[in-house]
Structure 1
Amino acid sequence: MTQITSDYISGLGLSSYGDKAAETEDDSLGQDEFLTLMIAQIKNQDPTNPVQNEDFVAQLAQFSTVSGIEGLNSSFEDLAQTLSQNQTLQAASLVGNRVLVPAQTAELSEGQGLTGAVNLSSSAGSAALNIYGPGGALVRTQALGSLSAGLQEFSWDGLLDDGSPAPAGAYTIEVTAQTDGATEALDTMIDAEVQSVTTDNDGGGLLLSLLGIGTVSFSDVYRIG
């Protein structure tokens, strides 16, 4: 994230307080100029790595030191609204793309399959993919073999153990692994298409509507694409 330093201000053709202490007040960085810089920074931020609260506060504190201008409280709400609107517009470009999110259950369309991943902290000697049908019965077991530490992807072709296509419905995915002689269930993530992006009126964050999964928070997205 770009810090608003004296060099950065000078590069934009503006004057910092330290550089122009002897000049008139009109030549110093005013509130309007600072807000223009801040809004430009917000509009050009990465939606997957938005402005953090501590960075935002630090820059406001820095501005107070450099310019000596107080009374920005009335502008906080406008800046926050700009940030929220800009994030929503940028996140809207995710519609139609696929994201990887923590999930165990997804809706299967007839003739389709499901893909996902697990993130292992250490290697596993043996792993298996278990698929449970809408009624909770185990309908497919698929050996995954040994897995190395890190992100490991898996896929289910949508077939049952007898080779017939699984009917449409909600299926639960479970990945188990043998580690240190014990079998444990791993936290799974499922790959899904983004259908829409909305703003959470309660928390102000972004909500993604995912095909086959439902609504998840944008902050829960592990990977895009």
Structure 2
Amino acid sequence: MATSFDTTLANLGIARTSNPATVKASGASTLGQNDFLKLMTAQMKNQDPFSPVDNTQMVAQMAQFSSLAGISEMSSTLKSISDKLGGTTTADAVSYIGKTVLTAGNTAYPRSSGGISGAVEVGAAASDVRVTIADSNGAVLKTMSLGKQAKGTTSFDWDGTTASGEAAGPGPYTVSVSAQNNGTTVGATALVWAPVESVSTASGAATLTLPGIGQVPVTAIRSIG
């Protein structure tokens, strides 16, 4: 007969690990707390009365299981809380509708007063940053120099007039950016303001639909107007 809990597990064909909550039988599902208690009861029923299981060992095993089970439950709870805090609820997502957001993109629609505003994300310090605005056919309307810029984000504003001072038209416009640091190309990303047309939470994460840009995850939004 078995003389210890480990022997009982072995006789049942179960390989014991350091975490009783994750012990698996061959071809069986993961053992939980109820399974552990059943095994302990079976061990006590089948122990050799002349050589019973040591009480100290039994208490230590029960304490170990209880501690590990508690840690596992606590980890699961903390993960749920983390997911909740880091996620976006449907109500949060719907609140974006009707607002404008700043995100990476190359298509911009003019304000009611004309012109557009946006920003440039520069990957490193640059001696010259430029923003080029073209019409829907690709014809350049105006190129603006933002001069020397440090690494990070810098804003720009265009009044809606061409290089010759004429009104550029209703848009939409194509925005492209470039950055140089003493002749060396520096990575730069155009950021444009766009109105939120609709929101989708079908995939679990909120996705915004922006005109001229398409679907953008909420995590890609830099600012909300």
- Equivalent residue letter for 1:90: D
Rg larger in 1 or in 2? Answer: 2
- Equivalent residue letter for 1:96: G
| Unaligned runs of at least 5 residues, structure 1 | 1-20, 23-28, 51-85
Aligned to 1:207: 207
Q: Relative to structure 1, is the Cα distance of residues 185 and 169 closer, same or farther in structure 2, using a 3 angstrom cutoff?
A: farther
- Equivalent residue letter for 2:172: A
- Equivalent residue letter for 1:125: S
Deviates more, 1:105-114 or 1:150-159: 105-114
Name the CA distance, whole Å, in 2 between partners of 1:147 and 1:205. Answer: 34
- Equivalent residue letter for 1:161: A
Q: Calculate the TM-score normalised by the size of structure 1.
A: 0.57
Alignment check: 8 A CA contact 2:123 2:188 kept: no
Deviates more, 1:98-107 or 1:203-212: 203-212
Aligned to 2:117: 115
Aligned to 2:222: 222
Alignment check: 8 A CA contact 1:100 1:221 kept: yes
Q: Calculate the TM-score normalised by the size of structure 2.
A: 0.57
Aligned-pair distance for 1:42?
Answer: 7.3
Aligned-pair distance for 1:170?
Answer: 2.4
Number of equivalent positions: 157
Name the CA distance, whole Å, in 2 between partners of 1:39 and 1:96. Answer: 33
- Equivalent residue letter for 2:131: L
Of the candidates 187, 190, 199, which is equivalent to residue 188 of structure 1? 190
Alignment check: 8 A CA contact 1:108 1:212 kept: no
* Percent identity of paired positions between Structure 1 and Structure 2: 32
Q: Relative to structure 1, is the Cα distance of residues 213 and 113 closer, same or farther in structure 2, using a 3 angstrom cutoff?
A: farther
Alignment check: 8 A CA contact 2:131 2:175 kept: yes
The DSSP-based 3-state class of the residue aligned with 1:89 is: helix
Instruction: Map 1:159-174; keep pairs closer than 5 Å.
Output: 159-174=161-176
Q: Relative to structure 1, is the Cα distance of residues 181 and 39 closer, same or farther in structure 2, using a 3 angstrom cutoff?
A: closer
Name the CA distance, whole Å, in 1 between partners of 2:190 and 2:219. Answer: 17
Of the candidates 198, 201, 214, which is equivalent to residue 200 of structure 2? 198
Name the CA distance, whole Å, in 1 between partners of 2:186 and 2:148. Answer: 14
Q: Per-residue displacement from partner, 1:164-201 (whole Å, max 9, x unpaired)?
A: 2211132111122221413557221112232332224x
Instruction: Map 1:35-46; keep pairs closer than 5 Å.
Output: 41=81, 45=85
Name the CA distance, whole Å, in 2 between partners of 1:98 and 1:199. Answer: 19
Aligned-pair distance for 1:206?
Answer: 1.8
Instruction: Map 1:123-138; keep pairs closer than 5 Å.
Output: 123-138=125-140
